[in-house]
Chains A and B, each alone.
Chain A
């Protein structure tokens, strides 16, 4: 338990120190060292508790309750001050509602409810802790080099606000630990709100009009989600008279009708945080922030908090049709439509964003299905998505600083210009969409769990969504793969800290893919068993090992098998007289020089955002509204 406390408190201390430190050198040392400490502490926690069915700590503290309330007030104060300064009425109103709700709850109801077990961890928390500590820490280290370049690109008189930036990142990590380790739902709620406000500040970091607008979009949506969380807390405190998360889940499994509204409300909170349609716009808008922020939001924190909550609720979903239907459909529709929309994007970060939302959709759908197999798949989706996405974001960020664009079309010839980076990026992309890499193995398990539950709609959604996924990743991969001559290598100026993080992510990715059967046996299966009492796994271990072997082959080819060809090198065919094979220049009909260019397909008229997004927004809004109404009315009718 000391370790849990350390993981929660230590990042806060670091954040406080970072706020005060203004020198680059000192910051590098502090961030680097504390990231390593957090990472190691997380790994130690995981390693010493492998296969645990769950450990619960008797720990309650009135002081902490008050601290949480105080934090809530401070958070609302921050949001209010921004809302006033930028004249955003909606955000202010929502913040006030939340403040009122939180205070009334705390002083009128929550004080009578005792939560003896304040902290806990089980194998799912451990998985999350690993992701937060190692991947989140890696991103913090990466941010050091990135933010130095970022600051260099800013106007000379721009204020250096990097201390705040790094402090926020560490607060974020701490808040995530609070969410995954708290059994007291009031504490969990506080962590939830801290992540919301932290990402609000991080998205608005550059203070441009666009950044502020997108930050407010994020805060409005997530405050709405927070109110959903509050509703659930009210139901728990008044009706169930417990605020213990574990107890809540047990009560829910025993009598699903009793907790219907609370589960729908909590699921709603999770859905907003996981940026499911119709809330996908906040995550897309978050792309204006510096790349480490995007990486942090997309891979290890924020959205993962949303799906963590949903996966936790999975056992209740299995019993309770209304929230289950809602979560499944919202997730499924989001997966399908966001995969379609990703095809139409050429901005690399937007492609990544859509792919994140789509994959979260899949995790959400798994949580909605709620069978042991589905939870097994969801956990692996969380893990592999976190690693691969952070790797990709870091690659795109570095590429952006060195080729001056985040457009996929500009990444032509990256294999030549930044050979190492391009390979990392290719590895990340392959992990996202192609078997035998982990993500696809998880999708495979997802498919099996959908079929087993006769979820025909989800099966069809998965089939079509996966096809779209292939399209948008493969064409990006193709762009990277192009090779022509020996253009200038521009990656020599990449910071060491960036390489270190990239290497860490790539190594983690390969290790996780290759040792997938082991992770399954020691981390994922224990959780499934501890929750359901039975082991559910859609894929036999033999097949997992075959996949591992294939991964090893692909990785070896990608990193060692290139370039040893003895074949004589020739120019490409340009149908006529070529005038430079490398730039694809040829002699045209007037004896002048023309250059052949090739762009990928975006098929905007088929898969454009304008066409697709409204469909998802309308459908999902209706589904969620219907779920709320049914959940609220059903107990009165029955």
Chain B
């Protein structure tokens, strides 16, 4: 039964998340432009970009890159399907990691020096945020008594009440996961790349379009994690969750526009320190108190 629900959820997520993610990305670009004193592109600009990418000629540096990227997209959708059908949070975390791995392999497979540097950095980014993500799942389990995301609907108070420290930790690494400056080491949406376009250097046309769509799906999923903290038995809480998600997204855009990129050493140390303090303390508190 769970399998069937997950499959249906995956398909629905694969249909809905790109739409939502695309609008969010458009919003991001408009808000960024306004922060920089510009008018900025139309909200649908990301949609136009991707449509254009699919109209371009299909070229590739090797025959497997697009397969890897397609797998990355597929598993991102599966992760979303697991999460939004109220499935197991750990399962969702593991599947999205699988998706990242496929994306990393796609970059490595091109053997472009720039893509390889990007892939190495991406690997490092995964290592930087992974502890906090796992501790998020553990914290959720301790707060909700289950790994099943759907069970938050049965709670009397939102889990933010017990694991607000984990929430802060998640906020920190969310910047890495959304590929926002100052942690956009492996590939950036801005044109100031010292490694050309990092991981996506060799991906062009339709392949790059798939990457963009995957990015939208991922963003929706990660913001879903944020929203999960504010949902409880009261149906109206969904509205609160959406409001918080939008606020957090705005915060991330603000951070993106206000901080210069950091070195990997700082990213690794700070992300691990945050995971240790925010995650560790909160979990220890829940376990022993």
Chain A residues with CB under 8 Å of chain B are: 413, 415, 430, 434-436, 440, 444, 447-448, 451, 454, 456, 459-460, 462-464, 466-468, 470-471, 474-475, 477-479, 481-484, 539-540, 542-543, 545-547, 549-550, 553-554, 557, 561-575, 581, 584, 596, 598, 600-601, 606
Contacts and interface: CB of A to CB of B under 8 A. Distances in A.
Given A434-B98, A542-B1, A601-B120, A481 B142 contact: no
Given A543-B91, A562-B64, A564-B63, A600 B120 contact: yes
B97 to A, nearest CB: 7
A470 B108 contact: no
Contact of B78 (A540, A550, A565): A550
Given A454-B287, A459-B135, A572 B64 contact: no
Contacts of B127: 467-468, 470-471
Interface stretch (B21-29, B39-47, B67-75, B255-263): B67-75
B113 interface: yes
B98 A550 contact: yes
Nearest to A565: B63
Q: Which of A467, A477, A550, A581 has the most CB of B within 10 A?
A: A467
Contacts of B158: none
B201 interface: yes
Contacts of B91: 435, 543, 546-547
Contacts of A596: 113
A460 B275 CA distance: 9
Contacts of B105: 477-478, 481
B192 to A, nearest CB: 15
A550 B81 CA distance: 13
Contacts of B75: 550
Nearest to B82: A546
Given A482-B116, A553-B71, A570-B61, 20 more contacts: A413-B111, A415-B109, A430-B101, A454-B287, A460-B135, A460-B276, A464-B131, A468-B127, A474-B101, A478-B116, A478-B120, A482-B109, A484-B62, A543-B91, A546-B2, A546-B3, A557-B71, A562-B63, A565-B60, A565-B63
Nearest to B88: A543
A562 B70 CA distance: 12
B114 interface: yes
A565 B110 CA distance: 14
Nearest to A343: B127
B279 interface: yes
A146 to B, nearest CB: 29
B94 interface: yes
Interface string B68-102: 10010011001000100001101100110110010
A567 B66 CA distance: 9
A482 to B, nearest CB: 4
B63 A475 contact: no
B126 A598 contact: no
A474 B131 CA distance: 16
B118 to A, nearest CB: 11
Nearest to B142: A451
Given A435-B98, A463-B275, A481-B109, A470 B123 contact: yes
B163 to A, nearest CB: 13
A430 B87 CA distance: 24
A562 B120 CA distance: 23
Given A474-B104, A570-B61, A584 B113 contact: yes
Interface in B163-202: 196, 201-202
Given A471-B127, A596-B113, A569 B98 contact: no
